[in-house]
Structure 1
Amino acid sequence: MKPESLAALVALATEPWGLDELELHSRLAVAGVTDPASALRAIALAGLAREERRRWVPTPLGHEALREAHLLLASSQDPSPSPPGMEECPSVPWLTQVQTHWVEAVSLNYAVDAARLARLLPAPLVPEIHRGTAWVQVLMSSLRDMRPQGVSPLLGVCFYQVSYRAAVRYRNARGEWRRGGYFVRSETNDPVMRRVGNALDEFRFHEFGEAHMVMAREGELLTVAADPEAAFPGGRLVGVFDTRPQTHPPQGSVWTGLEDLHEPLVECYDALGVSGDFVYVLTIDRAPWNARFCTPVELYCEYFEEGPLAPGARLDSVLHLTECAYRWRPLRRERHTVEP
């Protein structure tokens, strides 16, 4: 369908009683359609609209065409489409399709050695390379009212979480590359969330640990800390950040600005896990990140200074993120091709 015809159908569908020809021409002209009369003739000849009592309305075929156009538009804008062969496999659908809000969060963006990161990844996942290096983000966030969709926020759970998300990709059975994030480490301060997460297939992409955590604000300064339980050593994290928004990345960053790192590190909606011949994909539908560069005043991150990605890990930049709503889609999976 041509854009002019679609515009005419949309204009008619927004009015329950339809539009007369002059009203329709006027609306299409405002929308930038240069020949409204031709657009109306096209949808009439195609059986998508008809005139009733001197007003034009969509036909049932026209409504069907609008639904198909909506599905096509939604699919074209989907950041995580399902290719042929991908199937839904939620373990407990009503429980795992949850929604929540980030109150605020920090993203510590580390450039790491690709060979070291590769040793932490299950096949077929491999590091995704940007600016000549691999990347792991430490995302520490304060989450509010996590609950199954449709449940009152009063029954939600509020907690802290810190996740170490590696930028990765894999080749599926159809030979196509797909990108996402793999959690090489993750902790929460809520023991119930930890037990639930570790019991569900939806969280097969990592094992939750447990840690004492705090996020405290004093003016523009945000203090974060995570002290894991003895059973999960190596994840001590202490940071103080000046959250006054910066318009430029810090000196020494490989990124030229927020738009430059947007696709590699921000536009990541899929958490990936591997089991047998399948890659499992847990997709987050979220509002846009309100991300700004911020300045670390003090920072110690044990995982990168003494852990499996040391030496060689380098803090590139820090992002501060404010309020952001998100929800999970049902878990999906697809067969993979293991890289030689």
Structure 2
Amino acid sequence: MTPEALAALVALALEPLGLPERTLTARLKAAGIVEPGSVLRQLVAAGRVQATQGAWVLTPAGHEALREAHAALARAQDPSPSSAGMEECPSVPWLTQVQTHWVEAVSVNYAVDPDLLARLLPAPLEPEVFHGTAWVQVLMSSLRDMRPRGLSPLLGVCFYQVSYRAAVRYRNAKGDWRRGGYFVRSETSDPVMRGVGNALKEFKFHEFGEARMVMAREGDLLTVGVDPEPAFPGGKLVGVFDTEPRTQPPEGSVWPDLDALHEPLVECYDAFGVADGHVYVLTIDREPWNARFANPVQLYCEYLQEGPLAPGARLDSVLHLTECAYHWRPLRRERYAR
């Protein structure tokens, strides 16, 4: 379908009662279409529009063509398209109807040794390397009103979560690369959410831990704290961040600006798990991150400073993220190259 024909279908779809030819022609000319009459003749020949009682309207074939065009556009913009042979395998179908919001979050971005990170990754996952180093984001977030879509927010669950997301990639059985994140560690403040996460295939990438957590704000200062339960040592986190919005990275960061780190660290929608000869892919559909650089006034991250990625883990930058809604797609999986 030509762009001109698509524009005509869209113009008519916005007017269920149809448009007089003079009005439709004027709108198409305003959209830059030089010969609207030729476009209409093409659509009539294809059975996609017709004149009824002095107005042009879409036919059922026209509506179907518009839906197909919309689906094609959605596929072209999909940040996580399905590979050939990828199958859906949700453990609980309605889970993909769950919705929630990040009230706010911080992403503490560490540059780490690729060899040290590789030791924490199951095959076939491998670190993605940017600027000569691998990357782990410590994502501390406040989640609000998690619930099945359609239910009142009053029935939702509010909790904190911290995830240590490594930027990784793998090659599937057809030889194509897919990039995403692998959580080398995670904790939540809610024991029920921990139990649900550990029981579902969607989150069975490692064992979720439990911790006492806090996020408290005073003006531009955001204080975060994570104190893991004794069964999950090594994840103490204390930070005070000045969240006054900054568009420029801190001194010493390898990223020249926000746009430069957007694809590697922000545009990451897939979380990976590996089991039974498959890579499991959990995709989050979310609103854009409203990310700005933040200044760490104080910061202690035990896992990065003293854990399996130390020595050598280097704090690069901190992002502060504001309101962001998201939900999950059905869990998918595919074979990987051996």
Shorter-chain TM-score tier: over 0.9
Counterpart of 1:119 in structure 2 is 119
Does residue 156 of the first structure (1) align with residue 161 of the second (2)?
no
Paired residue type of 1:20 = P
Aligned 8 A contact 1:146 1:158 in 2: yes
Does residue 131 of the first structure (1) align with residue 123 of the second (2)?
no
SS in 1 for 2:43: helix
Q: Deviations over 1:133-181 (max 9, x none)?
A: 1000000000000112222211111000000000000111111000110
Structure 1 residues without counterparts, runs of 5 or longer:
none
Counterpart of 1:6 in structure 2 is 6
Counterpart of 1:38 in structure 2 is 38
SS in 1 for 2:82: coil
Deviation at 1:95?
Answer: 3.6
Deviation at 1:13?
Answer: 1.7
Does residue 260 of the first structure (1) align with residue 260 of the second (2)?
yes
Q: Deviations over 1:208-239 (max 9, x none)?
A: 10111110001110000101011111101000
Does residue 49 of the first structure (1) align with residue 54 of the second (2)?
no
TM-score for the superposition, normalised by structure 1? 0.97
Aligned 8 A contact 1:97 1:330 in 2: no
Deviation at 1:96?
Answer: 5.1
Q: Higher mean Cα deviation, 38-47 or 179-188? A: 38-47
Q: Higher mean Cα deviation, 259-268 or 27-36? A: 27-36
Alpha-carbon separation, structure 2, partners of 1:95 and 1:62? 34
Counterpart of 1:209 in structure 2 is 209
Aligned 8 A contact 2:89 2:331 in 1: yes
Does residue 197 of the first structure (1) align with residue 205 of the second (2)?
no
Aligned 8 A contact 1:96 1:202 in 2: no
Alpha-carbon separation, structure 1, partners of 2:148 and 2:329? 11
Alpha-carbon separation, structure 1, partners of 2:93 and 2:82? 18
Does residue 60 of the first structure (1) align with residue 60 of the second (2)?
yes
Alpha-carbon separation, structure 2, partners of 1:320 and 1:164? 16
SS in 2 for 1:34: coil
Q: Deviations over 1:256-293 (max 9, x none)?
A: 11111000000000111000111111111000001000
Paired residue type of 1:52 = T
Q: What is the correspondence of 1:259-338 to structure 2 with a 5 Å cutoff?
A: 259-338=259-338
Alpha-carbon separation, structure 2, partners of 1:167 and 1:297? 26
Deviation at 1:189?
Answer: 0.8
Alpha-carbon separation, structure 1, partners of 2:297 and 2:193? 31
Counterpart of 1:100 in structure 2 is 100
Q: Percent identity?
A: 76
TM-score for the superposition, normalised by structure 2? 0.98
Aligned 8 A contact 2:95 2:328 in 1: no
Question: After the TM superposition, which parts of structure 1 deviate over 6 Å for at least 4 consecutive aligned residues?
Answer: none
Alpha-carbon separation, structure 2, partners of 1:72 and 1:95? 26
Alpha-carbon separation, structure 2, partners of 1:184 and 1:72? 35
Q: Higher mean Cα deviation, 264-273 or 80-89? A: 80-89
Q: What is the correspondence of 1:9-20 to structure 2 with a 5 Å cutoff?
A: 9-20=9-20
Counterpart of 1:26 in structure 2 is 26
Alpha-carbon separation, structure 1, partners of 2:86 and 2:258? 32
Structure 2 residues without counterparts, runs of 5 or longer:
none
Deviation at 1:131?
Answer: 1.2
Q: Higher mean Cα deviation, 24-33 or 313-322? A: 24-33
Deviation at 1:14?
Answer: 1.5
Alpha-carbon separation, structure 1, partners of 2:96 and 2:119? 30
Paired residue type of 1:80 = S
Alpha-carbon separation, structure 2, partners of 1:75 and 1:54? 36
Aligned 8 A contact 2:245 2:294 in 1: yes
Aligned 8 A contact 1:103 1:141 in 2: yes
SS in 1 for 2:227: strand
Alpha-carbon separation, structure 1, partners of 2:174 and 2:108? 34
Alpha-carbon separation, structure 1, partners of 2:102 and 2:136? 20
Q: Deviations over 1:39-96 (max 9, x none)?
A: 2122112221111222111122111111110110111111111121111111111245
Alpha-carbon separation, structure 1, partners of 2:327 and 2:263? 20
Deviation at 1:34?
Answer: 2.4
Counterpart of 1:81 in structure 2 is 81
Paired residue type of 2:58 = P
Aligned length: 338
Counterpart of 1:242 in structure 2 is 242
Aligned 8 A contact 2:103 2:142 in 1: yes
Paired residue type of 2:20 = D
Counterpart of 1:173 in structure 2 is 173
Deviation at 1:30?
Answer: 2.0
Cα 1:186–1:99, aligned 2, differ >3 Å: closer, same or farther? same
Aligned 8 A contact 1:204 1:274 in 2: no
Q: Higher mean Cα deviation, 120-129 or 87-96? A: 87-96
